[in-house]
Amino acid sequence: MSLKDPLWLVENARFRLTASPVVYHCEPIWSWKAESLPDFTIWGVLEGSGELSLNGQDSPLSPGVCFLFQPGDAIDAKQNPLNPLSIFVTRFEILDTDNETISAEELNLPRGALRPMAPRNLENLANLSLSWNAENPTQKAIQDHALRMFLLFIADASHTAFDKRALKALNALESDCSRKWTVEELSKIAGLSTSQFSRVFLRLTGESPIRHLITLRMKEAKKLMLETSLSIEEIAERIGYTNVNFFEQQFIHRIGQDPESLRRHRAI
């Protein structure tokens, strides 16, 4: 019997959600353990870091990492309490062209951690899956299309090696975004030449190392503006900027408004 791969599923299968798609914003003490999953599940990391064991094989977690779990999989996941996870989860059954349920034994699906797209694109696709009412036929079709897009990206990513060397450098960058990192320092952490590292990092995140550092800093600055009473000067210093004017320029470019305007409108 010929096994069905993700591309076959995208083109031919039907999907029946067994739970509404959801984003979990995990508390610092969060962990998750499942001895045997009941459904197929797409699991994507939007924010944070940690580790996950899939059937005894360990993988680091960081934004953009995805898994396609199968019924029967054993999962043991934990997070870095200083960098809590936000996770997109959608659970579903797979039906063939005769509307019969397809089992995991009939499929050839990628296993382990994958990076099917840049973290920002993963978040956009997750939001598309979350934004629609599945009781509405038109909106349900859009949600179904989003699920097929996930599988298409996963199918493509399964043909690309998941480079844990670059991920090690990415985790270092994300754990200390206020540091004045250089590409040379990150390359050494990854054990790659600067040119190799830059290419692999771009493929991993969709951004160059320095642009991704700015993305991380602006995300942290936005969080601090919304959740604390720190001054702009204090926030700029905390995330590694000595020039407040330059910080504000970067903030406006990435966030779309100046820091004070964001804070004034946070309750609206």
CB 221 within 8 A of CB 251: yes
* Paired residues of 33 in beta bridges: 76
As given in the structure block, the two tokens for residue 160 are 């690309």
Per the model's pLDDT, the better-predicted residue between 188 and 164 turns out to be 188
d(CA 27, CA 10): 34
Residue 160 has pLDDT above 60, yes or no: no
pTM: 0.67
Residues 6+ away with beta carbon under 8 Å from 141: none
Domain 6-157 has CATH 2.40.70.10: no
Domain borders along the chain are: 6-157, 164-264
Give the rounded distance of the alpha carbon of 247 from its chain centre.
26
CB 65 within 8 A of CB 113: yes
The percent of residues above 70 in pLDDT, for the chain, comes to: 96
With cut-offs at 50, 70 and 90, classify the pLDDT of residue 129: confident
CB 220 within 8 A of CB 212: no
pLDDT at 219: 87
Residues 6+ away with beta carbon under 8 Å from 206: 117, 118, 119, 120, 121
pLDDT in tens, 205-242: 778 899 989 988 998 999 899 888 899 999 999 999 99
**Mean pLDDT of the region 91-100:** 88
As given in the structure block, the two tokens for residue 94 are 């797979």
pLDDT in tens, 169-209: 888 888 899 999 999 999 999 998 998 888 888 877 778 89
With cut-offs at 50, 70 and 90, classify the pLDDT of residue 268: very low
First vs last C-alpha separation in the chain: 58
**How many other β-carbons are positioned within 10 Å of the β-carbon of residue 118?**
19
Fold (CATH) for 164-264: Arc Repressor Mutant, subunit A (1.10.10)
- Among 68-82, 147-161, 200-214, top mean pLDDT goes to 68-82
pLDDT at 45: 93
pLDDT at 76: 96
Residue 144 has pLDDT above 50, yes or no: yes
Helical segments of 27-178, H only: 119-130, 137-157, 164-175
d(CA 239, CA 221): 7
**Helix (H) / strand (E) containing 44:** strand 40-47
Nearest to 2 by CA among 102, 121, 119: 102
With cut-offs at 50, 70 and 90, classify the pLDDT of residue 73: very high
pLDDT at 266: 65
pLDDT in tens, 1-27: 578 888 888 888 888 889 889 999 998
What's the CA angle centered on 237, arms 235 and 241, to 5 degrees? Answer: 110
With cut-offs at 50, 70 and 90, classify the pLDDT of residue 32: very high
pLDDT at 153: 82
Residues 6+ away with beta carbon under 8 Å from 225: 235, 259, 262, 263, 266
The strand pair at 31-34 and 14-17 is best described as unpaired
pLDDT at 237: 94
Q: What are phi and psi of 161, to 5 degrees?
A: -60, 135
Which range, of 19-33, 92-106, 151-165, averages the lowest pLDDT? 151-165
Give me the half-sphere count of Cα atoms (radius 13 Å) on the Cβ side of residue 218. Answer: 21
Residue 252 has pLDDT above 60, yes or no: yes
